């Protein structure tokens, strides 16, 4: 007798609607998560849990859920070793270092300065890899305003069109820390299980039917 599969989906934010639409298109019923934090799809023997996208990598790594959808940037910031089962093609963005227009274009010039971000672990690792010793200031929101507020000299933030950065007098510099999108992830030891392979295949077929591109890792 197989155990009910436990899948985490984002409860809000930019990844939530696409995640629910994708599972629905693949023939799953997660309508119950609109009203509560979890629901069971009895026909498919799946429990869906509605969690913060940022918390999903940790919940998977600690074994509370079998797999989930979150952003590649959040997986990278979590520090957990997870396997990508499928790239889902929505929620696309890049994570970039950004500075005021008159601050030059070298990330190494941030040595000794303050960098504000909602992705502190990813930012600290990136700066360390470049040999830049800077103070990482953790912010949960309004990161683009950090320089104007005097909180930091630069930011590391999620960039889509770049218009928000420009509106705050900032420009992206250096290579992207992460090229992100919504991803289906699991712990490496479970990634090859029949249940998760079947799940990834169903989602990939739904993506193909919508004209999106999924990449099995």
Q: CA dihedral in degrees (70, 28, 14, 86; nearest 10)?
A: 40
Statement to judge: residues 166 and 61 lie in one domain: no
Which positions ≥6 away from 159 have C-beta within 8 Å? Answer: 93, 94, 95, 96, 98, 165, 172
In a domain, 171, yes or no: yes
Statement to judge: residues 143 and 206 lie in one domain: no
Mean pLDDT for the stretch of residues 84-107: 95
In a domain, 65, yes or no: yes
| Residues 65-88 pLDDT 10s | 999 999 999 999 999 999 999 999
Going by the DSSP 8-state scheme, the letter that residue 108 receives in this structure is G
Statement to judge: residues 42 and 75 lie in one domain: yes
Statement to judge: residues 60 and 103 lie in one domain: no
CATH number at residue 61: 3.40.190.10
In a domain, 47, yes or no: yes
Mean pLDDT for the stretch of residues 42-59: 95
Going by the DSSP 8-state scheme, the letter that residue 169 receives in this structure is T
pLDDT tier at 91, thresholds 50, 70, 90? very high
Statement to judge: residues 10 and 35 lie in one domain: yes
Statement to judge: residues 85 and 9 lie in one domain: yes
Statement to judge: residues 87 and 97 lie in one domain: no
In a domain, 21, yes or no: yes
How many structural domains is the chain composed of? 2
pTM of the model: 0.90
Query: Which domain does 195 fall in, by range?
Result: 5-91+182-210
Statement to judge: residues 100 and 87 lie in one domain: no
In a domain, 217, yes or no: no
Statement to judge: residues 170 and 197 lie in one domain: no
80, exposed or middle or buried, with CB in 10 Å at 0-12, 13-18, 19+? middle
In a domain, 166, yes or no: yes
| Residues 155-178 pLDDT 10s | 999 998 888 899 999 999 999 999
Statement to judge: residues 118 and 64 lie in one domain: no
Statement to judge: residues 142 and 76 lie in one domain: no
Statement to judge: residues 191 and 140 lie in one domain: no
In a domain, 216, yes or no: no
Which residue in this structure is represented by tokens 């320089």? 147
| Residues 12-38 pLDDT 10s | 988 999 999 999 999 999 887 766 788
């Amino acid at each position: 007798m197989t155990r009910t599969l436990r899948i985490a989906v984002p409860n809000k934010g930019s990844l939530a609607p696409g995640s629910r639409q994708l599972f629905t298109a693949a023939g799953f019923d997660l309508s119950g998560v609109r009203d509560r934090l979890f629901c069971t799809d009895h026909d498919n023997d799946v429990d869906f849990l509605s969690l913060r996208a940022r918390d999903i990598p940790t919940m998977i790594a600690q074994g509370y859920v079998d797999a989930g959808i979150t952003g590649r940037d959040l997986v990278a910031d979590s520090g957990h070793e997870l396997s990508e089962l499928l790239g889902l093609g929505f929620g696309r963005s890049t994570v970039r270092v950004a500075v005021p227009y008159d601050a030059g274009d070298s990330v190494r010039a941030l040595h000794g300065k303050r960098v504000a971000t909602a992705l502190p672990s990813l930012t600290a690792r990136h700066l360390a890899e470049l040999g830049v010793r800077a103070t990482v200031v953790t912010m949960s929101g309004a990161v683009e305003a950090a320089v104007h507020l005097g909180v930091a000299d630069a930011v590391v933030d999620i960039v889509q069109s770049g218009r928000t950065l420009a509106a705050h007098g900032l420009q992206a510099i250096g290579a992207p820390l992460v090229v992100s999108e919504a991803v289906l992830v699991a712990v490496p030891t479970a990634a090859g299980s029949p249940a998760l392979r079947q799940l990834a295949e169903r989602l990939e077929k739904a993506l193909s039917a919508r004209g999106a591109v999924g990449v099995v890792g």
